[in-house]
Amino acid sequence: MLTVGLAGVAGVAGCSTESPAAESTAPPETGTQTAGSVSSQRRTVDGLSLRLTRPTLLTAYRAGGHTHTASDGAAFLAVRLRAETTADSSVAHPRASDVVATTGGEQRESRLEHGEFSGTVSGAAYSETDQARSGAVSEGWLVFEVDRSTESARVSWNDSATDRSTAWTVSVSPGALPALAVTDFSGPAAAERYDAVPLALSVENTGGQSGTFTAEITAGALEDAVPVQFTVPAGESVDRSVDIDYPAGAGLGTQFTLTDASSGAALASTTVDYEVPTRAFGDSYETPRGGSVTLSRLQFADEITYESEYSTPATAGSNQKFALVYVTATASAEQNTAIPVDDALELTAGTGGYEVRILSDYDELTSPVTGSGYGQFFDEVGPGEAVGGWVAFEIPAGLRAGDIAVRWEYSDYVHQDFSVRWQ
C-alpha cells in the first residue's frame, strides 16, 4: 500500500493549514504498477489549495513520446500535484522546478517532463500557471529519480520569491517493483555456418509487479544489435527463443552478449562454435542463396578413358590413383545460384590437399564411369538451371574413402562467402 502522510510545514510568510484527508478522485492508473488505494493530503497556503496524491515507484515511464528507464539501483518516484487558486485575486501556482523530493538525506529535483504520460502512470505532466485567477487549476505528474530501496520521501515546495512553502511525506513500497533477473541465456554449442541459430533466454521476476525486460544481443561479428523486449508478470518466469541470423565471418568461439538496453551493462553471454557445413558423399547442400549442390559417392580408378578417339586416356602416376565424384548443381526458381567452379573444389586427406583435375564438359567419359566432365568456369547459374559432370583428383594410392573429404570454397565481392565439405 502506498500512502501519503503529513510532514512538518516549513515557511515564514505564509502559514499552512491542513484540511481533512480526502480520497483522490483522479482516474485509476493504467499499466501493471499501480499505487493502489492512496489517501490524499491537502494544504492551504496563501490563497492556494495544494494536494499531493498517488505516489508511485517506477522502474520506467513514458512521457512526451519517450521512454525513460531507471539506471541500476535507481527508480522513479512519481507524484500527482494539484494546485487550485482559492483567493479572489490571481496567484502564482508552484513551479515544477521549485518542488523537490528528499530521501536518504539527498535532495532530488523534478525531472521537468512535458506533454502526456502514458502506460504505468497516465495523464499530463505538471505545468504551473503564473497568474492563476480564482478557481484556476494546475494539475499533473512530477517525477524524481530516487534510490530503488526508497520507502519514504519528503516532497516539498519552496517559493523563495514569496516565502511560500509546504511539504508532504510519502511512503512507497520498493517490494512492489518488478525484480527481473536473467536465469538462462544459451545457444547450441555448435551450429552450421550460414544458418540462423536460436538463443534461449529466460527471465524471472521475483518482484511484486510485472515488469518489462528490455535488452540487446550483441556480438563482434554482428553489424547491428538485436533488440529483445517482453513483459514478465510478477512471480513468474518467461522463456523466449531469439533467432540470430548468421553473422558474416563468424567461426569457432563466437560470443553473444546480452546487454541491458538502457545502461549497456552485460547481463549474460553464450558462445557458439560455427562450423563448416559437412555432408556425406551422395547428400545435397542447400546453399545460402537457395540452390543445391550434390557430390556423389567416390569412385576410384587408375585410368580415365574417353569416348573420343582423339582424347588420350589419363593415367595416374606411380603409387597414385584417381578419385572421381559427380557434381550436380541446381539453382532455385527465383534467383541465380552459386555453383562450384572446377578449381574451387579441393580434396583433403589429413593434412594433405589435392587440387582438382579439370575434365572438360566436352569430354564424355567411358571408364571407370560414364558421362561428361564437369568443366564449369562460371560460379553461378540462372534461375531453375542445372549443371552436372565429373571431376577427378589424383591422390596417393593408399588413401581410402573414409580418409577423404572434398571442400568447396565460394567467394565473391557481392554475396556472402561460404564453404562446405563432403566426406
As for how many domains the chain has, the answer is: 3
Per-residue pLDDT band at 40 (split at 50, 70, 90): low
| Amino acid identity for residue 2 in this structure | L
Task: Read off the pLDDT band of 32 (50, 70, 90).
Answer: very low
Q: In terms of pLDDT, which residue wins out, 295 or 310?
A: 295
Same domain for 192 and 146: no
Q: How far does CA 196 lie from the centroid of its chain?
A: 15
What is the arrangement of strands in the sheet containing 197-205, beginning at the earlier edge strand?
Answer: 180-186, 197-205, 237-244
291 — pLDDT class (breaks 50, 70, 90): confident
Based on the fold, state whether residues 360 and 286 are members of the same structural domain: yes
Q: Give the residue among 267, 305, 302, 326 at the shortest CA–CA distance from 394.
A: 302
Q: Check if the beta carbon of residue 329 is closer than 8 Å to that of residue 342.
A: no
Place of cell 480526502: 22
Of 222, 242, 275, which closes a domain?
275
pLDDT at 380: 83
More confidently predicted of 414 and 71: 71
Question: What is the per-residue pLDDT for 22?
Answer: 34
pLDDT > 90? residue 185: yes
Query: What local confidence, expressed as pLDDT, does residue 37 receive?
Result: 32
Q: What pLDDT is recorded for position 76?
A: 95
Q: Mean pLDDT, to the nearest integer, of 242-253?
A: 90
Within 8 A by CB and 6+ apart from 25, the residues are none
Per-residue pLDDT, averaged over 277-284, amounts to 95
Query: Tens of pLDDT along 360-412?
Result: 777 788 999 999 988 888 888 888 889 999 999 999 999 999 999 999 988 76
Same domain membership, residue 252 and residue 208 = yes
Phi/psi-derived region of residue 46, left when phi > 0, alpha when psi is between -120 and 50, beta in every other case: left
Whether the link from the prior residue into 368 is cis, omega within 30° of 0, is yes
111 and 9 within one domain: yes
pLDDT value, residue 109: 96
Of 35-44, 199-208, 316-325, the one with minimum mean pLDDT is: 35-44
pLDDT at 361: 73
Q: Predicted confidence band at 161 (pLDDT cuts at 50, 70, 90)?
A: confident
Q: Which residue has the higher pLDDT, 418 or 145?
A: 145
Say if residue 285 is in the same domain as residue 267: no
CA 14 to chain centre: 54
Sign of CA dihedral 395, 397, 399, 401: positive
User: Is 282 found in the same domain as 269?
Assistant: no
Residue 20 has pLDDT above 60, yes or no: no
pLDDT digit string (tens) for 117-133? 988 789 999 999 989 99
Residues 33 and 149 in one domain: yes
- Minimum mean pLDDT range among 157-161, 271-275, 286-290, 385-389: 286-290
Q: pLDDT of 54-68, one tens digit each?
A: 999 988 888 988 888
* Contact (Cβ atoms closer than 8 angstroms) between residue 202 and residue 236: no
* All three cell numbers of 288: 545460402
Nearest alpha-carbon partner for 271 in 192, 183, 199: 199
More confident of the two residues 361 and 413: 361
Q: How confident is the model at residue 251 (pLDDT cuts 50, 70, 90)?
A: confident
* C-alpha 112: how far from chain center: 30
Which residues does residue 186 pair with via DSSP β-bridges, in sequence order?
200
* Length, in residues, of the chain: 423
Look at residue 306 in the predicted model and tell me its pLDDT.
Answer: 86
pLDDT at 198: 97
Domain containing 394: what range?
A: 278-422
C-alpha cell at 408: 568447396
**Structure confidence at residue 419 (pLDDT):** 87
Question: Cell digits for 405?
Answer: 573429404
| Integer angstrom CA distances of residue 303 from 314, 322, 323, 406 | 6, 7, 10, 20
Q: What is the mean pLDDT of residues 236-248?
A: 94
Choose one of 174, 208, 229: the last residue of a domain.
Answer: 174
CATH assignment at residue 257: 2.60.40.10
Same domain, 37 and 167: yes
Would you say the pTM of this structure is higher than 0.85?
no
CATH number of the domain that residue 356 is part of: 2.60.40.1240
pLDDT value, residue 416: 61
Residues 198 and 341 in one domain: no
- The CATH number linked to 71 is 2.60.40
Do 287 and 251 lie in one domain? The reply is: no
Mean pLDDT lowest for which of 17-21, 40-44, 217-221? 17-21
**Domain stops at, among 143, 174, 205:** 174
**Is 212 a residue whose pLDDT tops 90?**
no
Quick one: 150 and 10 in the same domain?
Answer: yes
Residue-averaged pLDDT of the chain: 85
The cell numbers describing 334, all together, are 527465383
CA distances from 137 to 90, 113, 140 (A): 12, 18, 10
Model pLDDT for residues 79-120, shown as the tens digit of each residue: 999 999 999 999 999 999 999 999 999 999 999 898 999 887
Which distant-in-sequence residues (6+ apart) come within 8 Å of 209 by Cβ? Answer: 32, 33, 176, 177, 178, 234
Q: Does residue 366 sit in the same domain as residue 224?
A: no
